[in-house]
Amino acid sequence: MSNWKRIFETAFRDFEGVDELEMEFSFYAPASIVDIRGIEDSKGVKLTEELKGIFLEFNGISVKEKYWGRKNLYLPISEVIEDVEDYIKNSGNPTPPETELNSVVFFAQQNGYAVLYGMCCQPFGEFKVGQVLALDHETGEFEVESENLEEFVGNSWHCGLS
């Protein structure tokens, strides 16, 4: 088992004990180098080594909860490129400037994209490469969620969908 899976599984076990949602998760198959290049070309940035490592270890995580069914917690690259970008453009919610959006590669979500989590891959404003940022759909603003990917993946709070 690889490092990112182990970190997530440990956090997930901590989260499972908090709630009685009868949650279960499954990792998607790893992304390919072609998939990685596709998202980098789409966004016009290079992925950080950490985010690339996650995608090469698993290309998303699906979580099933008792009341909400199965949804993607960590997003596959295809969903990031197609669905997330479409949601941001067409949701009617406030959005940050395109230069900021193109500096962040989203990889996780909560509550139907109400909160999108992304890796800062190009610095902007006060944000540094390697920080995990949250984009709130109500404000259209980024804020630092975690200083690095390992901290984010290892935090059990991020294991829930709602």
The reported pLDDT for the residue numbered 54 is 96
> Which pTM value belongs to this model?
0.90
Spatial strand order of the sheet with 69-74 comes to: 24-27, 61-65, 69-74, 104-110, 115-120, 132-136, 142-146
Collapsing DSSP states into helix, strand and coil, what is residue 7? helix
123 torsion bin: left (phi>0), alpha (psi -120 to 50), beta (else): beta
Domain containing residue 150 = 3-159
What CATH number should be reported for the domain holding residue 66? 3.40.1580.10
Ordered per-residue pLDDT tens for the chain, 162 residues? 459 999 888 887 766 554 555 678 899 999 999 999 999 999 999 999 999 999 999 999 998 877 767 788 899 999 999 999 899 989 999 999 999 999 999 999 988 888 999 999 999 999 999 999 999 888 999 999 999 999 999 986 765 544
Model pLDDT, residue 161: 47
What is the pairing mode between strands 142-146 and 24-27? unpaired
Count of domains for the chain: 1
